[in-house]
Chains A and B, each alone.
Chain A
Amino acid sequence: MVFNEKIVNPTELRHWEGKIELYWVYTSGSAGDEFFKALKKGKFIAAKCKECGKVYFPPRIYCEYDFSETEYVNISGEGTVRAFTVARLDKDEKPLEKPEIYAIIDLDGTDGCIVHLLNAKPEDVYVGMRVKPVLKAKNKREGRITDILYYKPS
C-alpha cells in the first residue's frame, strides 16, 4: 500500500493553522423571552405542565413527557445545591486565576434546576446548602442568563 514509506522527519511536516469566524443570534424563544423579561424586573418564572403538573425550569412551552402545553408560574429563584464542582482549569486547560464553583441548584417550587456559579468559599459549600441568586444592577441587565451574576448562600 501507499504507506510503505511514511514521513519520519517532523520538520518536513506541513500544516496551517486555520480559523473561521462565525456569528449567530441565539433566539431565546417564547418561553425564554418570557423568563428573561421577568428576570430584567428581578423576577423568576417556571413553566407548569397543564397535563401532569410537572414544573419546568428552565421554562418551556411544552412538557417533555406529555408533549402537552405549559403555563407560566412565579417562583422565587432560590434553591438548594444538589451537586457542585470547583473548576480550576479554563477552556484551554490552563489554571483559572480564581477557581469557579459551578453548581446544580434545584429551584424551589419546581421539578427543575439551574446550573450556575456559586460565590462562596469552596470549603463552605455542601450538598443541600440553601442559595439565592444575585442579579446584575437593574440598568445593566440585558435579558441573558448572565444577568444572574451568581448564586450565594442564603
Chain B
Amino acid sequence: MRVAVVGVGYSGFNANTPDLHWKEIMFEAAVRAYEDAGINPRRDVDSFITCAEDIWEGFAIFDEFVPDQLGAVLKPTCTICGDFLYGLATAYMHITSGLAEVAVVEAHSKASDILTFGEVIKFAMDPIWLRQIGNAHPYYFAALEMAQYINECCITEEQIASVVVKNKNNARLNPSAPYGGKVGIEDVLNSPMVFDPMRKIEIAPRADGAVVFVLANEEIAKKLTDSPVWLKGVGWWSETSNFDTMSFNAMYAAKAAKMAYKMAGITNAAKEVDFAEVDDRFAFKEIQHIEALGLSKRFETATLMVEGYFDRNGELPINVSGGNLGVGNLLEATGGQKALEVVLQLRGEAGKRQLSKAEVGVAQAWRYIPTASGAVAVFGV
C-alpha cells in the first residue's frame, strides 16, 4: 500500500510570536492543512499524531493538551516524543496497517516562550556523568562533536563558513525564513568564536512555527488530489544515549537513511535523490548529515560544498529553504519544516526558490544535543 501527503499547512516561521498562544499556532497550521487537503477533520481524519517534548513546552504530559486545536476531540490521538519525522513514520504505520485511512501529523515550536533554553538542554543531559560539569552553555557538547569531526575529516573553517553562506542566502528567497541574509565568507569568519572551533553564526537561532500534514492511503489520496506526493520511505535510528559509545559521526542519520532508502527502493542515493533538506542546527552538522545520507563521500563533502555542488543551482541542492540556519531551530518541528519544503518543491509550489528537477526529495532531522538519534523521510512524485 502507498501512503500520500494530501495536504500541508504551516504557521510561521518567526523569530517570536508574542501575539499567539502555542495552541493557536497549531490551529492556524491545521486549518491551512485541512483547507489544502479539502477535508473536514471532524469527519474525515481517523488518527491524529502530535510530536512534542514536554521540556520544550513548560508543562508536562503534552498529549493531554492536544485534541481541541486540531479538530481531534473524541478521536484517536497520540503524541510522539520526538521530531515530526518520527510522527510521519507513525502515521505511515497507522495507514498501512489499516487502522486509519487518513492520518494527521503535527509538530510545533514556541521556542520564544523558553526563557532558559540552556537550562532546558542541560535538563536533557545525563545527571550523573555530564550535567554537573562546568558552567558553560550546553552548546559546548555540539562543539566537542564538531571538533572531533572536523579533525577527522580535515575540514577547514572556510568550508564550514560556506554552509552558513549558502543557507543564509537560500533563505532570502524563502518568505518564511526569518534568518536569511546576504552573508559572505568574511562575515562568517568575522563572527565571534563562542565555542572554539564553533562561531556564533554557525548556531541556528531559535524560531516559532507549526507544521501539519494530512496523509492518506492511495485510494483516498487519488480521490482528494490529482497530484499526490508519496511518502516513499521512512527510517529512524538511535545510536546510544551514552557519550562514550556515540560515533560523533552521525551514524544515526546513516542508519535511518539506510532504512528509509531500502523502503523507497533507492540503491544509490547520490544519483537517485534530486535534493535534500538536512538538519543544520549547527553548520558542521549539514556536512556530516550529507555524508550520512550517502549524498556524497566522506572527505569530499566539504570540498563539494565550497565548489557549489550543494547550491540551489548546483548538482544536488541541499537546504534550498535556507535550512535551520536560515529558518531557525524549530525544535520538534525541525523535520516538519524540512518535509514541508520537500513537498512544496515536489509539487512545484516553492515560489522563487523552485528547483527545476524535483522528483525525489529527502528530509532528515536529528534529535539535537545531547542525542545521537534521528529520522529520515523520502518523498517522491
* Chain A contacts to B: CB under 8 angstroms: 1, 3, 6-8, 10, 13, 15, 17-18, 24, 26, 28-29, 32, 56-58, 60, 64, 82-93, 96, 100, 102-104, 111-117, 122, 127, 144-146
Contacts and interface: CB of A to CB of B under 8 A. Distances in A.
Contact of B130 (A64, A91, A115): A115
Identify the 4 closest CB pairs spanning chains A and B, nearest first: A91-B118, A87-B136, A85-B143, A83-B148
21 contacts: A10-B18, A26-B127, A58-B242, A64-B245, A85-B144, A86-B193, A86-B196, A87-B137, A87-B140, A88-B192, A88-B196, A91-B119, A91-B136, A92-B116, A92-B118, A102-B136, A104-B243, A115-B243, A116-B133, A127-B151, A146-B132
Given A102-B136, A122-B196, A93 B244 contact: no
B128 to A, nearest CB: 5
A85 B195 contact: yes
B144 A91 contact: no
Nearest to B140: A87
Among B122, B198, B240, B244, max chain A CB count under 10 A is at B244
Given A88-B193, A91-B135, A145-B133, 5 more contacts: A13-B19, A57-B244, A58-B129, A86-B196, A93-B137
Contacts of A6: 19-20
Given A84-B144, A84-B147, A85-B197, A7 B243 contact: no
* Majority secondary structure, A binding face: mixed
A91 B127 contact: no
Interface of B: 18-20, 28, 31, 58, 115-119, 122, 127-130, 132-141, 143-148, 151, 192-198, 240, 242-245, 248
A91 B135 CA distance: 7
Contacts of B143: 85, 87, 102
A17 B58 CA distance: 11
A13 B196 contact: no
Contacts of A96: 135-136
A148 to B, nearest CB: 9
Nearest to A85: B143
